[in-house]
């Protein structure tokens, strides 16, 4: 549950920065990866880690390694901070 919640927070933050043509459905992971790769390769790598660890490994596979989870949560915070900076510079 915690992994899914943290991952959802990252998606909400990214949705504020990335365009979405269809507001009724969430973008696919591939769409986020493609859009981010055109903006910032480091954030794309962070997103990939967050997706795999928080969404897949924690939510579906039951990963319980606290060190790995802590790193993924730091990456999630990094992505959210990145989006806040982008939104601040756009204002």
The total domain count for the chain is 1
CATH number of the structural domain spanning residue 36: 1.20.120.330
* pTM (2 d.p.): 0.86
Strand ranges, E, within 1-91: none
In DSSP notation, 62-85 reads ----HHHHHHHHHHHHHHHHHHHH
pLDDT per position as a tens digit, 46-79: 999 999 999 998 877 777 888 999 999 999 999 9
Residue 12 belongs to what domain range?
Answer: 2-90
Interior angle at CA 28, CA 79 and CA 72, nearest 5: 30
pLDDT per position as a tens digit, 29-51: 999 999 999 999 999 999 999 99
């Amino acid at each position: 549950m915690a992994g899914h919640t943290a991952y959802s927070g990252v998606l909400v933050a990214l949705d504020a920065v990335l365009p979405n043509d269809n507001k009724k459905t969430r973008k696919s992971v591939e769409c986020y990866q493609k859009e981010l790769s055109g903006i910032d390769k480091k954030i794309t790598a962070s997103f990939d880690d967050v997706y795999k660890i928080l969404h897949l490994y924690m939510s579906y596979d039951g990963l319980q390694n606290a060190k790995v989870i802590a790193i993924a949560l730091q990456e999630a915070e990094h992505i959210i901070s990145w989006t806040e900076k982008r939104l601040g510079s756009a204002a």
